[in-house]
Amino acid sequence: MNRFSLSRPIAATVAAMALAAGLSACALLSTPDPVQTYRFGGVAASSAAAPVASPIQVTLRRVEFPEAVEGDRLLGVTGTETAYIAGARWVSPASDLYMESIENAFAAQATRVRLIGPRELTRGERSLDIDVRSFEARYASPGQAPTIVVTARARLLALPERTVAAEREFTVEQPAAANRVGSIVEAFDLATRDLNTQIVAWTDASAG
């Protein structure tokens, strides 16, 4: 009985295909590059002034973020080009981290108003709307240390009519010390704290 055997060219082809399949499987199962997670907007310093006895109740609506930065990725901008910073993610969506940071800032710094978060059922005398317009690392040229730019529009509405009582746009620019992820994250944190301090002071002054 003749046994079926592969000729050498066919055998070599089959071996090459098997090797390629094995390498493809290894590529699919390989460990991805590590991604470090970060947060921003830590607890702000407490105000030196004591809160008033009967603060104005201000309801905070859900803060709006641009779609490109509301998730967990850090956006870098060079001229008209955009790209997400590799190897870094926010530990939670940026919009969630910011909500936490602005509530903490009001709790620590406000003296004339009491902020009512979205999870509370209490109805306020005013409504605070914050619309974040930009939250990004801007590069003057590739490779240089970027400047973090955070822009937000805040509106105070009188309730129940929802007429605009006060409105202002805030912009904070915070240079990063170096073009490294750690320095960029630190600049995001400083910019967010600065923005929140300004919004709290403005709300305190405008809510009455």
Query: What are the tens digits of pLDDT across the range 48-91?
Result: 567 777 899 999 999 999 999 999 999 999 999 999 999 999 99
- Res 33: pLDDT: 63
Q: Where are the beta strands (DSSP E) in the chain?
A: 36-38, 56-60, 73-78, 81-90, 113-116, 126-139, 147-158, 163-175
Which 8-state DSSP code applies to residue 145?
P
CA angle (82 as vertex; 77, 87 as ends), nearest 5: 90
Q: Which amino acid is at 13?
A: T
- Res 47: pLDDT: 62
Q: Shortest CA distance to 95 belongs to which of 118, 122, 116? A: 118
- Res 48: pLDDT: 58
- Write out residues in the chain with pLDDT < 50, as ranges: 1-31
CA distance 45 to 151: 22
pTM, whole model, 2 decimals?
0.80
- Res 34: pLDDT: 76
- Res 4: pLDDT: 35
- Res 41: pLDDT: 86
- Res 44: pLDDT: 63
- Res 54: pLDDT: 86
